[in-house]
Amino acid sequence: MAKRIIVALPGDGIGAIVLQQAVRVLDAAGFDAEYIYGDIGWEFWRKEGNPLPQRTLDLIEKHKIALFGAITSKPNDEAKAELAGELQGKGFTYSSPIVGLRQHFNLDICVRPCKSYKGNPLNFIRRGRGNTIEEPLVDVVIFRQNTECLYSGVEWTNPPENVYQAFMTHPKFRQNFGKVPVEELSLSTRIFTWKATTRILLAAFEYAHNYGYKSVTVCEKPNVIRETSGLMWKLAKEIQQSKYPDIKLLNTNIDAQMMWLTKNPEDYGVLVAGNMFGDIASDAFAGLIGGLGFACSAQFSSDGIAVFEPTHGSAPRYAGYEVPIINPIAMIESACMMLDHLGEKKICQSIRRSVADVIREGRVRTYDMMKMKGSPDVINNGAASTVQMTNAIIEGLK
């Protein structure tokens, strides 16, 4: 097979560190690829006034597949202050390049698997009958709509007159907010479209079908948020009845789901939600399987662009360590999702098996797995470094 071309986007802080480790594992596992490095992140904001230069977008457009580390975002005033002298005061405004990527390529499907590894000391445990301790193994894959909902950016404080008047046409707005001075109003809109909602639902059902999950759970709040959550639930029922009658369709409200999370997380398989609730549910489930060091993700557009990244950020505090200590597994797992997408089954299996073996054996554990507070000292106290963890995974490849 021809060499694959992968756009590698290291980004900032620990993003660059973990990306390098993932590439080492991919190479060692025999994935035949050329990595073309793309510019993204803080350095390019400072030097060019754009953290996501057009040349990077062009690269991704051309090669379709990107492996992304993480970026640093800072509040507007700090961002402006850090711009290179010659760019200051020229009207540059910072916006997150990862959000920019999602919007530019319409990466509307976000997949976040949360699967516990046997032997991970960070696994969730609970009390069972008779004071026993149980460790339910979680295997949940969250499908989060990635471009709409409360994250669409359609919002106002002190809305303009025409917007205000439009809201005033709604009886509930008039009744409950009609007397609030307009300058004291902040409005964020929750937008769901039929098309994007259908796409995320179809992706969730198709995944459940392909990977043998017995149920798809819609995690929204249709009893209260009747229009948007209601749309998702209605479409889910139609899709299940017409296309996937063998897959059970469940409905949980986001608030109740946060409670069920610690009661019976093993009962859920594929979960699907809008942007906001998907974000919440995926972080919550990630907490049960070890947190940010283990949380991987993939984002897909309708025209074949896919970006794979850990859910964690750039953790700048940990970026300058002489010996990096952060856990590379979330990034390595994200690379495995890329392999899944590319149909590289054997290579993917061998990496996943090795990660599972290293975790189960427990000889090599990064600081987070040892419940240590992050500092350079953790290495002296027995934690494995980032590179040692990667080495162990590479040694275990079969």
Write out the residues near ligand NAI by the rule CB under 6 A. 70-73, 98, 292-293, 309, 312-317, 326-327, 330, 368, 374
Strand partners, 297: 309
User: Considering beta carbons, is residue 363 or 371 the nearer one to ligand NAI?
Assistant: 371
User: Considering beta carbons, is residue 83 or 281 the nearer one to Mg ion?
Assistant: 281
Dist. CA 381–CA 383, nearest whole Å: 6
Burial class (CB in 10 A: 0-12, 13-18, 19+), 283: middle
CB of residue 268 to ligand NAI, shortest distance in Å: 24
User: Considering beta carbons, is residue 120 or 252 the nearer one to ligand NAI?
Assistant: 120
Residue showing the smallest CB distance to ligand NAI in the complex: 313
User: Considering beta carbons, is residue 18 or 231 the nearer one to ligand NAI?
Assistant: 18
Strand partners, 145: 109
CB of residue 88 to ligand NAI, shortest distance in Å: 21
CB of residue 158 to ligand NAI, shortest distance in Å: 27
Q: Among ligand NAI, Mg ion, none, what does residue 280 contact (CB within 5–8 Å per kind)?
A: none
* CB-facing half-sphere around the CA of 175: CA atoms within 13 A: 3
Q: Among ligand NAI, Mg ion, none, what does residue 229 contact (CB within 5–8 Å per kind)?
A: none
- Smallest Cα–Cα separation from 277: which of 391, 89, 83, 143? 143
Place of tokens 């803080």: 42
User: Considering beta carbons, is residue 153 or 160 the nearer one to ligand NAI?
Assistant: 153
CB of residue 282 to Mg ion, shortest distance in Å: 7
Contact 67, 37 (CB under 8 A): no
User: Considering beta carbons, is residue 101 or 273 the nearer one to ligand NAI?
Assistant: 101
For residue 199, report the phi and psi dihedrals to the nearest 5 degrees. -65, -45
Dist. CA 10–CA 7, nearest whole Å: 10
CB of residue 292 to ligand NAI, shortest distance in Å: 4
CB of residue 12 to ligand NAI, shortest distance in Å: 7
Q: Among Mg ion, ligand NAI, none, what does residue 374 contact (CB within 5–8 Å per kind)?
A: ligand NAI
The residues near 74 (Cβ < 8 Å, ≥ 6 apart) are: 42, 82, 94
Dist. CA 186–CA 169, nearest whole Å: 17
How does DSSP classify residue 125? -
* CB-facing half-sphere around the CA of 1: CA atoms within 13 A: 10
Q: Among Mg ion, ligand NAI, none, what does residue 191 contact (CB within 5–8 Å per kind)?
A: none
User: Considering beta carbons, is residue 52 or 219 the nearer one to ligand NAI?
Assistant: 52
**Residue ranges that bind Mg ion, judged by CB under 5 A:** 279
CB of residue 283 to Mg ion, shortest distance in Å: 5
**Angle (CA) 122 123 124, round 5°:** 115
